[in-house]
Amino acid sequence: VEPNATIREIRLMFHKLYPRWYPARQSIKLDPKGKSLRDEEILQHLPVGTTATLYFKDLGPQIGWTTVFLIEYTGPLFIYFLFYFRMPFVYGLDERFTSSPHPVVNLACICHSFHYIKRLIETVFVHRFSHGTMPLRNIVKNCLYYWGFAAWLAYYINHPLYTPPSYGKKQINFAVIMFLLCEAGNFSIHVALSDLRRNGSKIRKIPYPTKNPFTWLFFFVSCPNYTYEVGTWISFTIMTQCVPVGLFTLLCFIQMTIWAKDKHCTYLREFKDYPSLRMSIIPFLL
Amino acid sequence: MAASGSGGSRADNGYGSQQPRRRRGPGALGTAYLVIYNVVMTAGWLVIAVGLVRAYLAKGSYHSLYYSIEKPLKFFQTGALLEEYLLIAKYLPGIVPSSVVLTAFQVMSRVFLTWAVTHSVKEVQTEDSVLLFVVAWTITEIIRYSFYTFSLLNHLPYLIKWARYTLFIVLYPMGVSGELLTIYAALPFVRQSGLYSISLPNKYNFSFDYYTFLILVMISYIPIFPQLYFHMLHQRRKVLSHTEEHKKSE
């Protein structure tokens, strides 16, 4: 192997020797307990002598992030429709293909579908992933979670015995406006983040507020995309006044707070001049 | 309490998992608290055991023994929740994450049986199955807490260690059978009274059927119980054979 070989080249060579282990599946380290080496690293810049010992670990079958997201998000989209259109096996034969007398149910379907279609579009056109793949078994877990919850909340919203929100039109209108604002915010942040990596570079950079008012949340939090996402689901809960939606929102909030704190810590570690006003997900609080 | 009972049996820190050797013990004061806690819990379960025996001798039959130990049972079993919380919050040192999950399951199922089934469905309190799991739990807990106590004091009699890692072979299935039979006995009463259940339509668009939930809980025993059982068997092989080697080398 040449001294100026990159880890990527080493991975390709390894793959030729062992066809079973394609590059994405290889974890190459200098130390069995250490971190995996990145593709861009060059052999001679690593702390090795004249001969280097590299440790290989099989990460298991991998699947691309884009593929994962596409599967994860298409599921809820169509599952919701099964309940919205009241397929016979859902609410019984008597209620099959009927529709709800409440306008909010139609609105909820539009919002829910809009949310997942937006996510699908972002996955294809906007997101730039730093890691190409994730382990295959994660997809089963993730899909169970997304699809399961989508089914559970769709069941109640589209149920023949659904009760519309207590404060009627006022509550629904407020929720719709909040929903739209949060979706716009979330989209703006995703675009801003993807612009940081415009030329395909994988270097991490500090995101800053731009001319778009929605990105001004960057003054206060490291991960405003998660903030907006939680906001979207809160608005959906208000719109439908449905406990399962509320529970889903709570779980989303917990999961995203964990991710946000992680990201926030990584930023703080990597950048000495990181803005000190910023919290991870809720301004001034969390 | 499952702390890194320093020295003693290295392969076993109370939950029988690998103990990272670089981790120090809880310190003198911490150890003292833990010893007191474990002694109290051992005593508590002994009280329950004695209560059972006395009630049996007094009444001559083993029905309705639940009532004689109802309060201490609730108190000490629920106390295990605190123990679990401390483990999870890592206020207790030297615990490996995987065992926390397993013990969490166990504690949750026990507390669930105590409160959500036996306490809530009064009609099952005279069932024999209740006695079955109470006896199983009592014996298990007495051995477990005295095991922790002795481990912390670095004077673990082989008998206690052996008992802890052997008696479960009978006690575990016994307890599980008692639990399952009790839940099964509770089903018709739950159905009838609509206990803990809420149905549509309602303002919050939510429904919950406790009857179905109980059935799902029973089904969940099928994947979970064998895992716990084989984990303990595995631990048994590891711990008891490790001690043999120790003995041989001495």
Residues of chain A with pLDDT under 70: 1, 199-202
Give the chain B residue nearest A167 (alpha carbons): B203
Does some domain include residue A233? yes
Return the amino acid letter for A204: R
Give the chain B residue nearest A157 (alpha carbons): B205
Buried/exposed B84-107: b ≥16 CB within 10 Å, e otherwise: beebeeeebbbbeeebbebbebbb
B159 touching A, CB under 8 A?
no
A161 in the same domain as A127: yes
Q: Can you give the CATH number for the domain in which A42 is found?
A: 3.10.20.90
CA distance A104 to chain B (A): 13
**Interface predicted TM-score of the whole assembly (ipTM), two decimals:** 0.71
Structure tokens at A260: 């946000």
Q: In a 3-state reduction of DSSP, which class is residue A158?
A: coil
Tell me which DSSP letter residue A37 carries.
P
Determine the Cα–Cα distance for residues B214 and B209; give it in Å rounded to an integer: 9
A153 touching B, CB under 8 A?
no
Interchain pair B201, A240: CB under 8 A = no
A79 in the same domain as A20: no
Q: Binning pLDDT at 50, 70 and 90, where does residue B14 land?
A: very low
Identify the helix (H) or strand (E) that includes residue A55: strand A55-58
Crossing angle of helices B210-249 and B168-193, in 10° steps, is 170
Structure tokens at B193: 């009274």
Does some domain include residue A75? yes
User: What pLDDT score was predicted for residue B117?
Assistant: 92
Cross-strand bridge partners of residue A58: A26
Q: DSSP string spanning chain B?
A: --S---SS-TT-SSS-----TT----HHHHHHHHHHHHHHHHHHHHHHHHHHHHHHHHHSSSTTTHHHHHHHHHHHHHHHHHHHHHHHTT-SSS--HHHHHHHHHHHHHHHIIIIIIIIT-GGGGG-HHHHHHHHHHHHHHHHHHHHHHHHHTT---HHHHHHHHHTHHHHHHHHHHHHHHHHHHHHHHHHHHTTT-B-SS-TT---B-HHHHHHHHHHHHHHHHHHHHHHHHHHHHHHHHHHHHHHHH-
A177 in the same domain as A85: yes
User: What pLDDT score was predicted for residue A233?
Assistant: 96
A264 in the same domain as A140: yes
Determine the Cα–Cα distance for residues A58 and A26; give it in Å rounded to an integer: 5
A218 touching B, CB under 8 A?
no
Tell me which DSSP letter residue A29 carries.
E
Q: Pick from A175, A260, A200, A181: which is nearest to A226 by CA?
A: A260
Determine the Cα–Cα distance for residues A249 and A231; give it in Å rounded to an integer: 9
Are A143 and A74 contacting, i.e. CB atoms less than 8 angstroms apart? no
Tell me which DSSP letter residue A57 carries.
E
CA distance A265 to chain B (A): 21
Q: Pick from B167, B183, B3: which is nearest to B92 by CA?
A: B3
Cis status of the peptide bond prior to A3, with omega within 30 of 0: no
Q: Which domain holds residue A166?
A: 64-270
Please state the rounded mean pLDDT for residues B57-62.
78
A193 in the same domain as A232: yes
Are B34 and B3 contacting, i.e. CB atoms less than 8 angstroms apart? yes
Question: How many angstroms separate the Cα of B185 from the Cα of each of A127, A222, B65, B106, B122?
Answer: 54, 53, 17, 21, 11
Does some domain include residue A216? yes
> Scanning the structure block, which residue is given the tokens 């007398």?
A101
Interchain pair B206, A156: CB under 8 A = yes
Determine the Cα–Cα distance for residues A154 and A156; give it in Å rounded to an integer: 5
A153 in the same domain as A115: yes
- Chain A residue numbers touching B201 (CB-CB < 8 A): 161-163
CA distance A88 to chain B (A): 19
pLDDT tens digits for range A265-281: 988 888 888 888 888 88
Does some domain include residue A138? yes
Interchain pair A162, B203: CB under 8 A = no
Q: Binning pLDDT at 50, 70 and 90, where does residue B183 land?
A: very high
The answer to whether the pTM exceeds 0.90 is: no
Structure tokens at A188: 């703006």
B204 touching A, CB under 8 A?
yes
User: What pLDDT score was predicted for residue B95?
Assistant: 40
A69 in the same domain as A55: no
Does some domain include residue A281? no
User: What pLDDT score was predicted for residue A184?
Assistant: 95
Interchain pair B204, A241: CB under 8 A = yes
Active site residue B179: yes
Please name the member of B202, B203, B206 whose beta carbon is closest to the beta carbon of A244: B206
- Chain A residue numbers touching B200 (CB-CB < 8 A): 156, 159, 161-162
Cross-strand bridge partners of residue A56: A28
Out of B2-16, B32-46, B103-117, B175-189, the most confident range is B175-189
Last residue of a domain, one of A45, A60, A75: A60
User: What pLDDT score was predicted for residue A108?
Assistant: 94
Number of domains, chain A: 2
Catalytic residue (choose from B141, B148, B179, B211): B179
Does some domain include residue A155? yes
Asked if residue B11 has pLDDT above 80, the reply is no
Does some domain include residue A129? yes
Please state the rounded mean pLDDT for residues B137-141.
92
CA distance B205 to chain A (A): 5
Does some domain include residue A277? no
A91 in the same domain as A33: no
Structure tokens at A233: 């689901």
B201 touching A, CB under 8 A?
yes
User: What pLDDT score was predicted for residue B5?
Assistant: 36
pLDDT tens digits for range B226-246: 988 988 888 888 888 876 666
Give the chain B residue nearest A166 (alpha carbons): B203
A128 in the same domain as A26: no
